[in-house]
Structure 1
Amino acid sequence: MYNEKVNSENSVEEKERYLETLLELLKENPDTLREIGWDLPKGLIEFLSGKHTNFKNNLTSNRMITGVMDCFNELALNGNPKECILSACELVSTLTIDLTGSDSSDEENEDLLDPNGDEVTTDNEKVSPNKLEIEECMSRNMVESIIDLKAYVLFEFMISVLNYVDTLYPSKFLAMAISAIVLYVRSNVEIVDDVYSILFRVYNFCVSCIASPPSDNLTNANDGSDIEKILEDESILQKKLLSSLSVLTVGSCLKNKSGDLDKIYFNTVMHKKMDESDKDTSILDICYHYYAHLTSLDVDIKGLFEECLEESKNIYDNIPLDSKVSTTEVQEEMNQLVYEVSYAYEIKKLANEKNLDLDQYGVIILSAIYYFSNGTHLLSQLDIQSAVYLYLRCTTASLFSEIYDNKYLESAVRYWLWVSITETSLKDIKIGLQKLPGHIATAFLQMLLMKTCNESNDDLKSIEFELLKRILCFMSESTSYTFLFETLLHCPYITVKIAVLDILRDMMIKFPKVPNDSESNSLCEQYESINTTNSTRMPPKLPPRPYIAINEDRMASIHSVAEISFSAGKKKKRTQGDLLLVLTYMKFFVSLRNKWDLGLLTLINKEISEAFQGEGEPELAFINIANDTLGAYIEETSIHS
C-alpha cells in the first residue's frame, strides 16, 4: 500500500531516495523480509514506468531502475523462495501491453513525447497525420519497452528464486513458472511489434534456469537409492519442461511474422542476390540458439520432424481413396473433409493429450531454421508426397480457427516444398505426384493458390506463384488442366481467376526443356555405335509438346468460360475486377492466337468490338488495344488463306 502511495504522489527524486532507504531496511531485517517478501514484488514493479525511463540513455545509470533491481535481488536472497515464486508467477502471467488508452498510460506517454514540456498543442492547432503517426509509434514503442523491462526484471527474479528453492521436486516450481511464462507469451505475441524481445527473454530463462541440488537436510531424510531415482526423474522432467517451453515459444512468437524462409531459399537456388535488410537475421539467429539449446537438452529435432511427417500423412489416410468414391456429391464431401481433418485432428489431440509433447508448429519451424544456420537441409531429401501432406496439415486448420494461423510456419512448409522439388529427381517427383489421391491433390492446389493470391508482399507472391506453376508442370497434363479450368469455371474470386489464367497461358506456351544439341548428338552417336548392323535411319525428333496441349475440346471449353466473363463485363454494374478479367482473357487469346481456332477468335474480336467501346475506364483502352492486335492477326491470316 505504501509503495503505491509513494509511486503515485512523490517526485522522481523522492522515489529514488525511497527505494534506496527500502533497500537498506531489507538488508538490515532479513527475518522480516522473509515474512513480508511475498507482498513486495507487485509494488516494486510499478516503479518501472515511462515517467521514469528514457531508453535513449544508459539504463544502468537510472537510479530508479537500479533501485528496483537491487530490491528484487535482496528479495531473492532473503525472501521466502516458495512464496516469492508464487508472487512472480502471478505478475508475469498478467504482464501485457495495455492499448486501451487509460489515463495513466496517456499521462506517461505525454511525459515521454514531450519531456521538457516546451511544446504545447492547442485544440485549434492542426496536427499533421505524419506527426500523429510518429507519436503513436513512439508511444507504442515505449509501452513495449516498459513491458520488456518489467519482463526482464521479473524473469531474472524468477531464475534467482528457482535456484534458491530447497526441494526434492524443483520441477513443481519450474512448471508454475513456465505456466506463467506461457500466459505471458500468448497474451503479448498478437499485439507487440517486436517479438524478438519475448524470444530473447524466454531463451535466457531456459538456459539460465538450473535448479540447485537439495540440501543435506532433505537428502539425509531419505534412502540413498530413492534420492538418486528422484533426482534422475527430476532432471528428465525439467528438461522436458524447458524443451516444451522453448519449442512452444518459437511456434507462438513467430505466428504473425512472414518469415521469408522460402524466399531466401529460392533466391539461393536461383543464385539471386538478396538485400541483407530483407533478412530478419536477429530472428534467425535467436531461433538457431533455441535449436542449439534444445540439442543440449537431448531433443532430436530431426527425429521429431520425421515423426511429424509420418503423422501428417496418417491424418489423411482415413479419407477414402478415389476408387471408393462413387458420385459427384460424395466426391465433394471428401474434398471438404480434406480441409476439415487437420483441424479436427488437432482438437482431438489437444483434448486427449496426456504426455508433455512438443509443439508441432515449433518443431517444423526449427526444422527449416536448421538450413539457414548450417547451409544444409535437416533432411537431405524429402519426397513430394510428404511435403504436400505437411503443407495441407499446416495450412487448412487455420480456415477454422485463428489459433492455427501461423505465417512463419507457412513459410517453413513452403521451404520444404521447394526442397522436395529441387533435391529430388524429376522422375521421382512425377511418380510421387501421380500417387497422390485426387482429392488430396485438388485440395493442396486450391490451398496453395488461395494462400498465394492472399499474399500481400509482391516478392513473396511471385515466388509462391512460381512454386505453384512448377508443381503444376510436374503433375500430369490432365490433372493440371482440370484444376485450372475448374477454377476458372467455379471460383468466385476474380483475382484468383486472373492468376489462374496467366498460369494456364504459360503452360500452353512453354514446354519442358530437352537436352541440348551436343547432348542429343552424343546420345545418337552412342545409339548408332551400339546398333552398327542396323542401317535404318533415326526418325526425326518430334516437335516439343507444351505442358498443356491445345485441342478443340479445350479451346471450346475455355471459349465458353471466357464468354461468361465477357457477359459480366458488359453489365452496367460491372466492377474494375470484371474488366481486368476481360483484359486478362484478351491477353490470353492474343498470346495464343497462332495456336487458336480462327473462327473462335473472330467471334471474340467481334464481341469485344461491339460491347467494350467508350471512355472513362482505363481498362477499356487496354482491352481495345489487345482486340486491335487480335483483329490485325485475323485479317492477315484471312488474306494468306
Structure 2
Amino acid sequence: MSLTDENEQNTSDSTLEAGEFEKVLSTLELAAADARESGDYLSYSTVLDICASDPTGFSNAEKEQILSHILGALTTDKEMTAEIGWDLPALLISYIDSDYDFVGPVRKAPGVYKVLKIFEVLAIEGNSKELFLKSTELLSTIKITDSPTENQENAEKFYDLKVYCLFELINSCLRRIHTLYPSKFLAMTMTSFINSIYINKVRYSNDFLWKRLYTFARNYTRPPLPDSTDLPAEELAKINEDEDYLQRKLLTAFLTEAINRFLVLETVGFAVDFFNYLQRMSPANAKYTNNFQLDMPVFDRLYELALSFDLDLTSSFRDFMKSSSELIDSIAYTQDSEDDATAKLVEFVVTDYQNNFCSSLISSEATAITDSLGGTLNLFTYSIAHSKVFDKVDVSIKSAVDMAIRLIVPGIVHSNFIYRGQHDVAIFWCWYAVHMSSKNGRDPTSEVGAIPKVVLMSFFQALLFATVSCSSNSYFRYVTLTLLTRFLSLASEDVSFNFIVNTLRECPYQNVKAAIVGVLKELSIKDKVIMDDLAESMSHAKISKEDSKNKGDSIPPPLPSRQNKAGVKYINLTEQRVNDVFALIDMCMSEAFTDGETGPYLNGQILPTLQAYLNFLFLVRNEKFIKGQRYQDVVDKVQKHIKGVEENAGDETSSSLGGIGILKVTVERLTL
C-alpha cells in the first residue's frame, strides 16, 4: 500500500467518506428547507440530533461546514431560532473540541468562531428563558475529560472555551429575561458555575476561570422588570428592595465560595511568599528558598470587588480567630485524659468544619445565604500577605495554632475536608504569629510553653499532615516542615521528642519519616538560642519623657540579643532517649531489609529513612550514650544486611542493588 493510500485509509477511519458527508449535509439542508416551509421545526432539530450530534466523525473542515449550515439556517429564520434554539447548545458545545494545539491564537481553533456566532444569534433571537435553563444545566455538567484529546493541558483549554461560550450566552439571556425575581436566576447561574468547578478540580491552571469569576461578578446587572404588572406600587417597591438585597448577598456568597472551590487542590502561595520575605529581611542575609513572590493581579481585583460589596473581611477574620480559640479552649482545659481530650478535640473540629466550611451557598431550608468562610479567609489573608502591612491585626501564637487545628485537622479524618488553600492560610498565620511575637518583644518560647499539651500535639499532627497532603508542592512542603521544626524548637524537650518518636514509630507515610529524622538531627546537634537576660530586661525598660529631659540624649535600650549557649541543645540525648532512637533504628532496619520469596532484598521505599538515621548517628557518634559498642553494632548489622542482599542477587540485576550502592557509601562514612 502506498503512503497516499495509507493516509486516505487513516482519514476514512476517523471521518466520513466524502460522498457520505455530502449526503449528511444535503439531508440537513433539505430538513431546514422543509422546516421553513412547513413550520415543523422540531423535525429539523431531530435531524440535527441524528446527523450532527457526534462531531468526532467529521474532519475539521466538515465540522466547519456543518456549523456554517446551522448558522445560516438560524440567521435566515428567526422563528426557527426561537423554537429550537434552546436545544442547540448541548449539540454545539462538543464542536469546540478538535486537534488544535493552541500554538496560534484561539480564534484559529476549528469551530470556535462559528460556535460563538451561533450562540450570538441564539442570544438575540432565541427564547431567553429556555436557553438560560439549558445553558446553566449544561455548564453544571461539562467536564475536562469530555474532550477526546489526550493532552491534559489542551483539554483544559477546550473546557475553558466551552465555559466562555456558555457564560456569554447565559449573560446575554439574563439581560433579556423580564422578571420580578432576578435572584432566582442569579442563584441558578452561580450554582452551575460552582458545580462546574467542583467536578473539574484537577487542573494545571485556573487562571481563566478566576477571570471569568471576576468579570461576571463585577459586570452583573439586574435583569429588566416585566413591561407591566398588576402589583400595587408599594408591594412592587418592597419586592425590588428585597431582590436588590438578595442579589448582593448572592454575589458575595458566589465570590467567596468560588474562591474557596478554586483552592481545593491549589495554593495561592501565602506561606512560601512570607517565608521568603522573612529570609530576605534576615540580618544574616539568608539564602531564601526560591524566587517566588506573591503576585496575583486577579486576586487584587477580587479583593477590591469584595470591599465594594461591603464585605467586612477584617471583622470576619477576627470573629474566626476568636471562635477558633473558644472552640479549642472548650476542650483543652477540661479534666479529661489526654487521649479523651484529643478524641473530643478532633470530633469538635470536624463537626465545626461540616457546619461552617461545608455549607452550601443557600441553606437547605432556603432561609439563609451564607458567605464562604474559606473564601473570606483567603481574601483577607491575601490583603495582609501581599501588602506586607502587619499592624492591621494582632495574631498571637496561640490564636494561630487554634486556627491551624481548625483548618487542617478535619482533613486527617476525611479526604473531602482537605483544602490546600486553607492549609496555606493556616501556615501563613503561624509564621506571621511567630514573626510578630519576636518583633513585638514577646517571647515565643513562653507563648508556646503556655499552650496545653493536647493542643500542641494536635497542632504538630496538623503540620505533619499538611506536609504530607501537599507533598507535590516542594516549596510549600519545605516551608511547612521548617515551621514544624521551629515550633518543636520552641516547645519543651519532652513534648518535642515524644512527638518525633511517636511519628517515626506510627506514621504510615514513609515519604515524611526521613524528613522527621532530619528534624531530630537539627534539634539534637544545634545549640539552643537563648535570650540574654540583661538584654531582655533592658528591652522592657521604660524611659519617660521626664527622664529624657533630665538625662539629655540617652542611649536607647538594647534590643534583645540572642546567643547560642554552648552545650545546651534543643533536645538533649539522654540515655532513655538514645534507647528510643536505637529501637527506632532497629525497627527501620527490619523494615528495610526483608526476606522475599527469592531471599533478602532492600526495600527502596524505606531506604531514605534508613539513610537519614545513619547520617544522624554519624553526627552524634561522640555523644555519651551513643559512642562505643552500640554505635558499632548498628554499623555491623547494616553491613551484614548489605552482604546478604548482594549474595542473594548474585550476578543477576536486582532493583535493590542500586540502593545498596548508595547505602554502602553511607556506611563507609560511618566507619571513618
TM-score (norm 2): 0.74
Q: What secondary structure, in the 3-state scheme, does the structure 2 residue paired with 1:45 have?
A: helix
Contact 1:23 1:70 in 2 (8 A): no
The partner residue of 1:476 within 468, 481, 492 is 492
Aligned to 1:341: 348
Aligned to 2:412: 399
Question: 1:338 is aligned with what amino acid?
Answer: L
Aligned to 2:65: 14
Q: 1:459 to 1:213 in 2, by over 3 A?
A: closer
Deviation, 1:156, is 1.0
Q: 1:489 to 1:260 in 2, by over 3 A?
A: same
Question: 1:336 is aligned with what amino acid?
Answer: A
Deviation, 1:626, is 4.3
Contact 1:613 1:620 in 2 (8 A): no
Deviations 1:547-600 (A, max 9, x none): 233444444554555555566667755635666555444433432344424xx5
- The aligned runs of 1:22-171 (5 Å cut-off) are 22-26=73-77, 29=78, 33-50=81-98, 55-60=102-107, 64-98=111-145, 106=148, 109=149, 136-137=150-151, 140-171=152-183
Q: 1:60 to 1:625 in 2, by over 3 A?
A: closer
Q: Distance in 2 between matches of 1:517 and 1:355?
A: 56
Q: What secondary structure, in the 3-state scheme, does the structure 2 residue paired with 1:249 have?
A: helix
Deviations 1:481-523 (A, max 9, x none): 3323443455465554443333233223323435799979999
Q: 1:549 to 1:158 in 2, by over 3 A?
A: same
Q: Tell me how many residue pairs correspond in the alignment.
A: 562
- Whether 1:505 and 2:521 are equivalent positions in the alignment is yes
Aligned to 1:203: 214
Contact 2:101 2:154 in 1 (8 A): no
Q: What secondary structure, in the 3-state scheme, does the structure 2 residue paired with 1:419 have?
A: helix
Q: 1:163 to 1:561 in 2, by over 3 A?
A: same
Q: Distance in 1 between matches of 2:341 and 2:250?
A: 39
Q: Distance in 1 between matches of 2:138 and 2:537?
A: 76
Q: Distance in 1 between matches of 2:501 and 2:101?
A: 61
Question: 2:218 is aligned with what amino acid?
Answer: V
Q: Distance in 2 between matches of 1:520 and 1:68?
A: 71
Higher mean C-alpha displacement, 305-314 vs 85-94: 305-314
Deviation, 1:270, is 0.3
Question: 1:591 is aligned with what amino acid?
Answer: L
Structure 2 runs not aligned, ≥5 long: 1-44, 281-286, 543-563, 647-659
Kindly report the root-mean-square deviation, in angstroms, between the aligned alpha carbons of the 2 structures.
3.7
Contact 1:582 1:623 in 2 (8 A): no
- The aligned runs of 1:296-335 (5 Å cut-off) are 296-319=308-331, 321=333, 324-326=335-337, 331-335=338-342
Contact 1:586 1:626 in 2 (8 A): no
Q: Distance in 1 between matches of 2:537 and 2:622?
A: 31
Deviations 1:18-58 (A, max 9, x none): 244234324xx3x664454433433443443327x674454
Q: 1:519 to 1:544 in 2, by over 3 A?
A: farther
Question: 1:164 is aligned with what amino acid?
Answer: R
Contact 1:163 1:212 in 2 (8 A): yes
Q: Distance in 2 between matches of 1:476 and 1:621?
A: 37
Question: 1:362 is aligned with what amino acid?
Answer: G
Deviation, 1:266, is 0.7
Q: 1:223 to 1:591 in 2, by over 3 A?
A: same
Question: 2:464 is aligned with what amino acid?
Answer: L
Q: Distance in 2 between matches of 1:521 and 1:20?
A: 82
Contact 2:132 2:174 in 1 (8 A): yes
Deviations 1:461-486 (A, max 9, x none): 33222211111122233322332344
Q: 1:154 to 1:377 in 2, by over 3 A?
A: farther
Deviations 1:286-338 (A, max 9, x none): 233222222111112222222222333344344363x6134xxxx32432343
Q: 1:514 to 1:251 in 2, by over 3 A?
A: same
Aligned to 2:661: 618
Q: 1:499 to 1:36 in 2, by over 3 A?
A: closer
Aligned to 2:569: 546
Q: Distance in 1 between matches of 2:565 and 2:190?
A: 67
The partner residue of 2:278 within 251, 269, 284 is 269
Contact 1:367 1:378 in 2 (8 A): no
Q: 1:158 to 1:625 in 2, by over 3 A?
A: same
Q: Distance in 2 between matches of 1:548 and 1:295?
A: 48
Q: 1:156 to 1:585 in 2, by over 3 A?
A: closer
Q: 1:65 to 1:234 in 2, by over 3 A?
A: same
Deviations 1:136-174 (A, max 9, x none): 32xx34433332222111101111211222122111111
- The aligned runs of 1:386-465 (5 Å cut-off) are 386-425=399-438, 427-453=442-468, 455-465=471-481
Deviations 1:385-443 (A, max 9, x none): 22112212222222333322222321221111111111123635334323322212111
Q: Distance in 2 between matches of 1:374 and 1:314?
A: 29
Aligned to 2:205: 194
Question: 1:596 is aligned with what amino acid?
Answer: K
Contact 1:163 1:209 in 2 (8 A): no
Question: 2:572 is aligned with what amino acid?
Answer: A
Q: 1:65 to 1:560 in 2, by over 3 A?
A: closer
Higher mean C-alpha displacement, 602-611 vs 166-175: 602-611
Deviation, 1:446, is 2.0
TM-score (norm 1): 0.77
Q: Distance in 2 between matches of 1:428 and 1:521?
A: 12
Question: 2:251 is aligned with what amino acid?
Answer: L
Higher mean C-alpha displacement, 349-358 vs 250-259: 349-358
- Whether 1:257 and 2:266 are equivalent positions in the alignment is yes
Question: 1:587 is aligned with what amino acid?
Answer: N
Aligned to 1:467: 483
Contact 1:195 1:254 in 2 (8 A): no
Deviation, 1:239, is 1.3
Q: What secondary structure, in the 3-state scheme, does the structure 1 residue paired with 2:467 have?
A: helix
The partner residue of 1:214 within 211, 220, 225 is 225
Deviations 1:43-74 (A, max 9, x none): 443443327x6744545577954443333333
Q: Distance in 2 between matches of 1:217 and 1:434?
A: 70
Contact 1:258 1:408 in 2 (8 A): yes
Question: 1:15 is aligned with what amino acid?
Answer: I
Question: 2:240 is aligned with what amino acid?
Answer: L
Structure 1 runs not aligned, ≥5 long: 100-104, 110-135, 527-540, 630-641
- The aligned runs of 1:176-191 (5 Å cut-off) are 176-190=188-202
Contact 2:197 2:262 in 1 (8 A): yes
Contact 1:88 1:157 in 2 (8 A): yes
Q: 1:25 to 1:253 in 2, by over 3 A?
A: same
Question: 1:24 is aligned with what amino acid?
Answer: T
Contact 1:320 1:334 in 2 (8 A): yes
Q: Distance in 1 between matches of 2:277 and 2:66?
A: 56
- Whether 1:293 and 2:316 are equivalent positions in the alignment is no
Q: Distance in 2 between matches of 1:245 and 1:287?
A: 15
Higher mean C-alpha displacement, 555-564 vs 164-173: 555-564
Contact 2:527 2:566 in 1 (8 A): no
Q: What secondary structure, in the 3-state scheme, does the structure 2 residue paired with 1:545 have?
A: strand
Greater relative contact order (Cα 8 A, min sep 6): structure 1 or 2? 1
